[in-house]
């Protein structure tokens, strides 16, 4: 057996993916910090969809953000602690909690948006658009491959 034949692909892929992900969040957090704002990557990941969807349920958020229920609960907890969102029970289905941005939450969202934009540019660097497209495409396919 040759010493690096089959070995390389899978190992590297996992390691590369983790490392890229880490670097991205790290950079985002740093950019946020440098702007004097205060929001974690996780919180931001949820804040966006809340803004987009107006008043999503935890479940909606979990599906969009691809995270499990406890994680969503806790992130919402932390956002609520900071008075960025409020939980509102659904009028008809009392199991469902809808999440709504407060004024401060909206403000923070608008403040962070350009930072996200900046981070996005830094992440992309010189990588051509069509490669990014393929990249995202492959990611989606991988996720699909593994959940069926």
Partner DNA sequence: ATATTTTAGTTGCAAATGCAACCAAAAAAA
Partner DNA sequence: TTTTTTTGGTTGCATTTGCAACTAAAATAT
Q: Which residues bind DNA (CB under 7 A)?
A: 22, 26, 40, 42, 57-59, 62, 67-74, 76-77, 87, 92-98
Residues in contact with 118: Cβ distance below 8 Å, sequence separation at least 6, in sequence order: 31
- CA-CA distances (angstroms) from residue 62 to 4, 32, 86? 39, 24, 17
Binding partner of 76, given a copy of itself, DNA, none, CB within 5-8 angstroms per partner class: DNA
Which partner in DNA, a copy of itself, none is near 87 (CB below 5 to 8 A by kind)? DNA
Where do contacts with a copy of itself occur on this chain (CB under 8 A)?
3-4, 6-7, 9-21, 23-27, 41, 45, 48-49, 52, 64-66, 113, 116-117, 119-120, 122-127, 131-132, 134-147
User: Is the Cβ of residue 21 or residue 74 nearer to a copy of itself in the bound state?
Assistant: 21
| CA 118 – CA 141 distance, rounded (Å) | 27
């Amino acid at each position: 057996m040759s010493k690096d034949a089959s070995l390389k692909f899978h190992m590297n892929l996992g390691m590369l993916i983790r490392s890229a992900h880490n670097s991205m969040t790290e950079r985002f957090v740093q950019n946020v910090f440098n702007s004097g704002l205060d929001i974690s990557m996780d919180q931001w990941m949820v804040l966006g969809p809340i803004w987009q969807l107006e008043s999503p349920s935890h479940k909606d958020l979990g599906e969009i953000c691809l995270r499990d229920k406890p994680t969503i609960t806790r992130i919402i907890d932390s956002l609520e602690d900071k008075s960025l969102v409020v939980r509102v029970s659904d009028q008809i289905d009392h199991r469902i909690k809808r999440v709504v941005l407060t004024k401060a939450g909206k403000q923070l969202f608008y403040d962070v948006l350009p930072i996200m934009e900046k981070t996005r540019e830094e992440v992309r660097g010189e990588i051509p658009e069509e490669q990014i497209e393929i990249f995202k495409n492959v990611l989606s396919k991988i996720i699909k491959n593994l959940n069926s």
